[in-house]
């Protein structure tokens, strides 16, 4: 990770960690960089944003920087992150920018940069942007006269993305009662429209953004609201998205959570049966549940494990030609259709499994036993200091030996926040609690917690 850019872009509290000045400079550098690479000498950049109040502020700052460097900027307005990725690669843009802090609280924001192939920006270019922000690169020349860039309304890009999603399902959703939790975020103009067009009877909650209610007690980070809604309404299935709609978690007909691991299992098995699981492999991260691996072993399905972050999942998929991968948090990538996690697409693929098998979602997990898992986030003054502390390392080793092959402790740094994540999987909730809090208590005793 760089100074500003983490595993998912440049993210932080608006006007504290991420400022208008940062955004302006990001725009200045991207306009200059892609202008040099474009044969016509003028970059063509598309921007989307989520519903945070600060997204408008950062949008204008990015536009100012880009146009000052000579780039033409196309504005998709409020739209999911995967729609920006789709439009970049299908409409010939040099790069795309999504203004969002994903699942973070409304007061945070972020800048995600997507290259011309629809992938997350290369680390080397992120490093150059950081050097420019810190004044380590000479000042970039300003465009003048007719070379100054312009802005173009490109809301049609969001509509084209919606049309693309509607072509993917193999069956009508008629007579299906579906609940959607749009997290008061970027999916609010997309998800219901797509499900309605496919024939579903759609019931929506948290679809009224006001700039400060994105992810607030709703969406994929607060699934309990959708669980209650699905049960009360007697729905067949429910889908919850995060702020920028690149994640999806599900609720089955009984109101039970279906997380990313279960989605990978259900869709991976289905794809294998249809001959669509390339190289018989599903890509996971190190956070996936042990129960998933044991179930995949029984079904004869291989798996690859990457570091946490959908960018690492996608890199593995591209390198080896795999067709599905994702994270427990609900970032699921179907490489045939997208180059990034896509919450609405994931919900459409779950619908395909239910409809083709003529079954309820709750009936799809009979061979899957999820191990109890407990994750505690500890806010710390120095992530590196915690990870390198000899006492922390010794306790980590001790717990691993005691758990053996029937459990594990995973200690890792957050890629976007000042957090150490302590996660334990074991055969019982009691063991999870015991070992998680042994580690959390040690981190606090050593004075790292803030």
**The CATH number of the domain where 393 resides is what?**
3.30.310.50
pLDDT value for 152: 98
Of residues 52, 51, 73, the one with CA closest to residue 61: 73
38 inside domain: yes
Q: Do 23 and 121 belong to one domain?
A: yes
Q: Is the pLDDT assigned to residue 296 strictly greater than 70?
A: yes
The size of the chain, in residues, is: 450
Find out whether 246 is annotated in a ligand binding site: yes
Q: Return left, alpha or beta for 197; rule: phi > 0 is left, psi -120 to 50 is alpha, else beta.
A: alpha
Provide the number of structural domains found in the chain. 3
pLDDT of residue 405: 82
Q: With respect to residue 384, please indicate whether it lies within any of the assigned structural domains.
A: yes
Region 278-282: what's the mean pLDDT?
98
Asked whether residue 129 falls in the same domain as residue 188, the answer is no
pLDDT of 1 > 70? The answer is: no
Per-residue model confidence (pLDDT) at position 382: 94
Does residue 212 sit within a domain? Answer: yes
Residue 26, domain member (yes or no):
yes
Tokens at residue 283, please?
């890509």
Last residue of a domain, one of 324, 347, 364: 364
Instruction: Tell which phi-psi region holds residue 296, choosing left (phi > 0), alpha (psi between -120 and 50) or beta.
Output: alpha
Same domain, 132 and 244: no
pLDDT of residue 7 exceeding 90, the answer is no
Per-residue pLDDT tens digits for 139-154? 999 999 999 999 999 9
**Best CA proximity match to 198, nearest among 220, 159, 178, 171:** 171
Shared-domain flag, residues 357 and 389:
no
Is residue 198 located within the same domain as residue 286? Answer: yes
Mean pLDDT value of segment 4-21:
93
For residue 424, is it within any domain? Answer: yes
pLDDT in tens, 27-58: 999 999 999 988 888 999 999 999 999 999 99
pLDDT at 414: 85
Render pLDDT for 342-365 as a digit per residue (tens, 0 to 9). 999 999 999 999 999 999 999 998
Q: Of 156, 177, 207, which residue is a domain's last?
A: 156
Domain hosting residue 398, numbered range: 373-445
Per-residue pLDDT tens digits for 65-97: 999 999 999 999 999 999 999 999 999 999 999
pLDDT at 260 over 70: yes
Residue 450 lies in a domain: no
**Average pLDDT, whole number, for the chain?**
95
CA dihedral sign, ordered 245, 247, 249, 250: positive
d(C-alpha 325, C-alpha 341), whole Å: 9
Shared domain for 182 and 202, answered yes or no, is yes
- Is there a single domain that holds both residue 128 and residue 219? no
pLDDT tier for residue 372 given thresholds of 50, 70 and 90: very high
Arithmetic mean of pLDDT, 282-307: 94
| Pair (143, 241) in one structural domain | no
Question: What is the average per-residue pLDDT within 257-265?
Answer: 97
Mean pLDDT, range 281-305, rounded to an integer: 94
Q: What is the DSSP letter of 119?
A: S
Residues 208-216: what's their mean pLDDT? Answer: 97
C-beta atoms surrounding 332 within 10 Å: 28
Q: Would the pLDDT of 200 be above 80?
A: yes
155 is in an annotated binding site: no
The reply, when asked if residue 244 is annotated as ligand binding, is yes
Q: What pairing do the DSSP bridges indicate for beta strands 201-205 and 177-181?
A: parallel
User: Do 343 and 423 reside in the same domain of the chain?
Assistant: no
Q: How confident is the model at residue 311 (pLDDT cuts 50, 70, 90)?
A: confident
Please tell me whether 102 is known to bind a ligand.
yes
Are residues 211 and 333 located together in one domain of the fold?
A: yes
Neighbours of 72 (CB within 10 A): 20
Q: Which residues belong to the active site?
A: 102
> Which CATH number belongs to the domain containing residue 36 in this structure?
3.40.120.10
332 compared with 415, residue with greater pLDDT: 332
In a domain, residue 440? The reply is yes
End-of-domain residue from the set 108, 132, 156 = 156
Residue scoring higher pLDDT (214 or 1): 214
Taking each helix axis from N to C terminus, what angle separates 343-357 and 260-273, rounded to the nearest 10 degrees? 50
Q: Which of 391, 387, 380, 394 is closest to 447 using CA atoms? A: 380
Q: Are both 192 and 334 inside the same structural domain? A: yes
Burial of 102 (0-12, 13-18, 19+ CB in 10 A): buried
At 309, the pLDDT band (50, 70, 90 cuts) reads confident
CA distance 250 to 408: 26
Q: Please check whether residues 147 and 196 belong to one and the same domain.
A: no
Q: Does 163 map to a domain?
A: no
pLDDT bin (cut points 50, 70, 90) of residue 137 is: very high
């Amino acid at each position: 990770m760089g100074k500003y850019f983490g595993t998912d872009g440049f993210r932080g509290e608006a006007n504290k960690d991420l400022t208008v000045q940062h955004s302006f400079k990001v725009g200045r550098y991207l306009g200059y960089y892609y202008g040099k690479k474009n044969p016509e000498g003028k970059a063509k950049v598309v921007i989307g944003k989520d519903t945070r109040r600060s997204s408008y502020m950062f949008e204008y700052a990015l536009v100012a920087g880009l146009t000052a460097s000579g780039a033409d900027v196309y504005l998709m307005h409020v739209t999911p992150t995967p729609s920006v990725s789709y439009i970049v690669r299908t409409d010939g843009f040099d790069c795309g920018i999504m203004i969002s802090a994903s699942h973070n609280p409304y007061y945070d924001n972020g800048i995600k940069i997507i290259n011309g192939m629809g992938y997350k920006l290369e680390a080397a270019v992120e490093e150059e942007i950081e050097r420019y922000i810190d004044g380590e690169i000479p000042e970039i020349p300003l465009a003048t006269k007719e070379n100054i860039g312009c802005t173009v309304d490109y809301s049609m890009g969001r509509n084209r993305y919606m049309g693309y999603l509607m072509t993917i399902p193999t069956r009508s959703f008629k007579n299906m009662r579906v609940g959607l939790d749009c997290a008061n975020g970027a999916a609010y103009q997309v998800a219901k429209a797509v499900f309605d067009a496919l024939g579903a009877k759609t019931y929506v909650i948290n679809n009224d953004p006001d700039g400060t209610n994105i992810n607030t007690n709703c969406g994929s980070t607060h699934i309990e609201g959708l669980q209650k809604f699905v049960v009360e309404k007697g729905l067949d299935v429910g889908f919850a998205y995060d702020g920028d709609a690149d994640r999806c978690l599900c609720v089955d007909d009984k109101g039970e959570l279906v997380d990313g691991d279960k989605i990978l299992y259900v869709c991976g098995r289905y794809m294998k049966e249809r001959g669509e699981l390339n190289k018989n492999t599903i890509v996971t991260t190190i956070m996936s549940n042990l129960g998933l691996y044991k179930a995949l072993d029984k079904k004869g399905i291989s798996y690859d494990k990457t570091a946490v972050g959908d960018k690492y999942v996608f890199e593995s998929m591209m390198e080896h030609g795999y067709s599905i991968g994702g994270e427990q948090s609900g970032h699921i990538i179907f490489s045939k259709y997208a180059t990034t996690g896509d919450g609405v697409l994931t919900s459409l693929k779950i619908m395909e499994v239910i409809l083709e098998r003529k079954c309820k979602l709750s009936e799809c997990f009979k061979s899957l036993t999820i191990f109890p898992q407990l994750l505690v986030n500890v806010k710390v003054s120095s992530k590196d200091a915690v990870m390198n502390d000899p006492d922390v390392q010794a306790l980590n080793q001790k717990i691993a030996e005691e758990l053996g092959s029937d459990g594990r402790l995973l200690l890792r740094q957050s890629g976007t926040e000042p957090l150490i994540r302590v996660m334990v999987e074991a055969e019982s909730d009691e063991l999870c609690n015991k070992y998680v809090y042994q580690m959390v208590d040690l981190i606090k005793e050593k004075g790292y917690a803030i």
